[in-house]
Each structure stands twice: as structure tokens, then as C-alpha cells.
Amino acid sequence: MNKTPLTKRYEFVLLFDVENGNPNGDPDAGNLPRIDPETGCGLVTDVCMKRKVRNYIELAQENAPSYEIYVKEAAVLNNLNKEAFQHHPDMELKEKKAEKMEAKKRDDQQILARWMCDKYYDIRAFGAVMTTGVNCGQVRGPVQFSFSKSVDPISPVDVTITRMAVTNERDAEKERTMGRKSIVPYGLYRMEGFISAPLANQTNFGEEDLELLWSALVNMFDHDRSASRGKMAAQKLIVFEHESKLGNAPAHKLFKLVQVERRPESELPRSFDDYEVTIGDAPGGVNILEKL
């Protein structure tokens, strides 16, 4: 795959909201919305957001060459790793068994890792640990997400629901069965992200990959609908583009330029219009781009 890796560093802020839904349930807490117990603010994990990006890329590219997805439902990762060895049949192996393969030479190990990067978008972007028996190496991705955190504390609500049908024959005499679902009436969440140009050079993450990432962040919620998630939408995507590979300003200072405040008249926020977003002036060597 011939492409030019990124030559600039990027950071970004994504603002997204949820209305009457559960953006990221915690399986260890009865699938309740994740919450910071000290502040009451809602949380969404980084892996949850990466899953949505992967799903969008898979839909948008339809397994186009170099845009396949490595971590997806029902994937057997070692079988995918074996494809790299099959593509390089003359490579000298340290070990070759049904569930264990490893290249003997370090240069060959790097060739396998690069082949996987070229084939799979999510490895190129997020990295992957491919040392589970069939060893294609470990790749550190240039794109990293923080945990998303709600701007204000959230107030999860447990809603009782009924179902006219029953699951088991022993419940056939019942008129209905009862259930519960947990929702957040409204929450505005903020996710911060980082894109490293030096790491992009290692995985061959290029400009086309970057534009596809922006598209995924803006559109992924429209292809991730479910009754439990309610109405989720990306509201703002603010990108900090550095003029250099190593960057021209500290990331934490750039993030402070994006201020999200609840409007004084909105005591109980129920929409994005209840908030005001202000963006400060960028320091020298940094451009601010609004993708949404």
C-alpha cells in the first residue's frame, strides 16, 4: 500500500449527547450507565467509542483493500494473523505449529506487522497486540481516545417495562412479564483525542485515513441506533492541527481552549441548545478546524 503517513500532530475534542438512552452500560453494575461516583458525571469508555468507529469504517468501506477491520464480531484473531504468514511463505520461522507461529528474524517480524497494518484500518489507527500464539508483533497506534465524561452530573433513571409475551412455558399463564431499562434523560459528553505523527509513520496512517476518521466521528451514531441507546448525536468536532510532527503546543493547554458551559437560564439541561461552546485563540503553529 503506497501512501504518505501524517506529517503533523493533531488533537481533537468531540462533543456528543444522549437523550433518553444509555450510552455505555456497565455489565458489572446491571448495565447501568457508567458514572463517576465522586462527581456524578457520566462516563463512556474509549473502547466503546473505538467500536463505533470500527463499525462505521466497516460500513463505509465495505472491506475495501487496506480498510478491513481486525477486531470485529466473531473474528478469530489468530486465523487472521495466519494470513500474514501465508502471504510470506518463504519466511524462516522460529516455530510453526497449528496454534503457534513466529518469525525467526526481527526484520521479518516487522514485515508481518507492517502487512497487518496495511490490510486493517483499525490496526493502522489504534494499534493491536498480535502476539497471541500466531505472532505478528505488537503495534502501537497513533490514534488514542480518552474516556468521555459528561459536562454536568447525570441522573440515571430506572424505567419499568412490560412485555406481553413470555420466555418460558412455566410463565404462560401470566399476562405479561416485567423488565427494567436504565436511561439518562439527557447528557452532553466530551471526549478528547490524540493523533501522533511519529506513530502514524510506524503504522503508515495517512491523510486518507485521517479524513475517514473525522467522517466516522461525525457520522458513527447515525449507524449505531438501538432502543437502549436512545437518541445519540455528535454535536461538535473541534480539531487542533499542529504545523510540525512533534507539535507546537501542549495538548492539555489546547483542550482548555474549548469551554463548554451550561446557559444560566437552563437549570435542567435537556438539549445541546442549553449549552454554550466557546473556543479560544490558538497559539502560534496551531490551527483550529471545526469539522462539525
pLDDT of residue 11: 98
SS3 sequence of the chain: CCCCECCCCEEEEEEEEEEEECCCEEHHHCCEECECCCCCEEEECHHHHHHHHHHHHHHHHCCCCCCECCCCCCCCHHHHHHHHHHHCCCCCEEEECCCCEEECCHHHHHHHHHHHHHHEHHHHHHEEEECCCECCEEEECCEEECCEEEEEECCCEEEEEEECCCCCHHHCCCCCEEEEEEEEEEEEEEEEEEECHHHHHHHCCEHHHHHHHHHHHHHHHHHCCCCCCCEEEEEEEEEEEECCCCCCCCHHHHHCCEEEEECCCCCCCCCHHHEEEEECCCCCCEEEEECC
Is it the case that residue 1 has pLDDT exceeding 90? no
Question: What pLDDT was estimated at residue 2?
Answer: 59
The length of the chain, given as a count of residues:
292
- Given the C-alpha cell 524462516, which residue does it identify? 92
**pLDDT tens profile 192-216:** 999 999 999 999 999 999 999 999 9
Q: What is the pLDDT of residues 152-179, one digit of tens each?
A: 999 999 888 887 777 777 776 766 777 7
pLDDT at 180 over 80: yes
From the number of C-beta atoms within 10 Å of its C-beta (0-12, 13-18, 19+), residue 249 rates as middle
Q: What average pLDDT score do residues 132-140 get?
A: 92
pLDDT at residue 138, rounded to an integer: 94
pLDDT for the residue 274: 97
Per-residue pLDDT at 66 exceeds 70: yes
Mean pLDDT, the chain, integer:
93
What is the pLDDT, as a whole number, of residue 259?
98
In this prediction, residue 175 carries a pLDDT of 65
**pLDDT for residue 28:** 92
Q: Residue 43 — pLDDT band, cuts 50, 70, 90? A: very high
Q: Residue 280 and residue 27: Cα distance in Å, rounded?
A: 39
Give the Cα separation of 162 and 69 in Å (integer).
38
Tens-digit pLDDT profile for residues 249-274:
999 999 999 999 999 999 899 999 99
For the residues 172-191, what does the mean pLDDT come to?
A: 85
Residue 222 DSSP symbol: G
Residue 3 reports pLDDT greater than 80: no
User: What pLDDT is stored for residue 132 in this prediction?
Assistant: 87
Average pLDDT over residues 14-23: 97
DSSP state of 8: S
Q: Residues 6 or more apart from 228 whose CB is under 8 A from it?
A: 21, 22, 25, 181
What residue spans define the domains of the chain?
A: 10-290
Joined together, the cell numbers standing for residue 212 give 475517514
Provide the residue type at 201 as one letter. Answer: N
